[in-house]
Amino acid sequence: MALGVTVFGTCAAAAPPGDTRHGEEVYSLCLACHALAENRTGPRHCGLFGRRAGSVPGFAYSEAMKRSGIVWSAATLDGFLAAPSQVVPGTAMYVDVRDAKERADLIAYLEQAGRSEVCKVAQSG
């Protein structure tokens, strides 16, 4: 019985799928510091999901991010984007995405973009 309650609770809490088109619009605000395939002020986003935070070779992360222990998933990214400095005190990331729908859309876009030809090429070379 407890298993049924747990499963139900998990399903009820699951985030709705995001709108990738709107997520790309939201991502345009991130382009001041980030890009999909190259490091800028912030690290690249190709290969983001499943990657340990603070682990892109050649990027100068804050010590806080390197020590965070986060592995990026939709859930960890959602929490981080909502309040970066609360999730990782000392992070260099200072912009948050407070709106839950915008976060869901942005995350959906990043998941889709991670499978794009741009990311396939960036990760192979």
Highest mean pLDDT out of 4-13, 14-23, 79-88: 79-88
Non-local (6+) Cβ contacts of 73 within 8 A are 49, 50
C-alpha angle 32/98/78, rounded to 5°? 85
Cβ neighbours, 10 Å, residue 70:
17
CA distance 60 to 18: 31
CA distance 2 to 35: 44
**pLDDT for 34:** 97
Domains and CATH numbers, the chain: 17-124 (1.10.760.10)
pLDDT tens string 15-69:
557 999 999 999 999 999 999 999 999 999 999 999 999 999 999 999 999 999 9
Alpha helices in the chain (DSSP H): 2-13, 20-30, 63-67, 74-82, 84-87, 100-113, 117-124
